[in-house]
Structure 1
């Protein structure tokens, strides 16, 4: 199964933010996307990148669905997540309008 993105409302300035669930280094990467209105001034950190082989893929769980990401993004998520609490991120590869 794959995750189906919901379109953003063009009438309301909003973005998707990723909630990265806590976990040990070797546990599955679990996350959810939420739409937030920019006027609410949400707190988040941003990750934008292009490195590594785009054909080298790994899997994360996005809303409980298996979702393919680059190996470099999966590694980054492992290093960015906390052990005990979720963190909020904007990641171009996951939060932008994708298919």
Structure 2
């Protein structure tokens, strides 16, 4: 069962949640993403980039699309996602 944007993780399968960023040709285009759960028990491990960030200034907001829903993020995260987003391939965080 899905609650909001997240699908609950199955603890018995050691799942983690991955955010996939869709490619875009233009730097300033809307950041489109989707969530997926991945099992750490699987023989085929997902490749992803680990990202750590601070929340920053809450007076300024940016937006991304996650699974079709408009989500608010802060500018430093938006800038980081734009920097690592590719133009040809999906990037996983």
1:19-98 to structure 2, matched below 5 A, reads 19-23=20-24, 24-40=26-42, 41-50=45-54, 52-89=56-93
Alignment partners' CA distance in 2, 1:53 and 1:65: 23
Give the unaligned 5+ runs of structure 2. Answer: none
Alignment partners' CA distance in 2, 1:79 and 1:20: 11
> How many equivalent residue pairs?
87
TM-score by length of 1: 0.79
Q: Which has the larger radius of gyration?
A: 2
Displacement over 3 Å in runs of 4+: none
Structure with the bigger percentage of strand: 1
TM-score by length of 2: 0.84
Give the unaligned 5+ runs of structure 1. Answer: 90-99
Aligned-pair RMSD on alpha carbons? 1.4
Larger RCO (alpha carbons 8 Å, 6+ apart): 1
Closer, same or farther: CA 45–52 of 1 in aligned 2, 3 Å: same
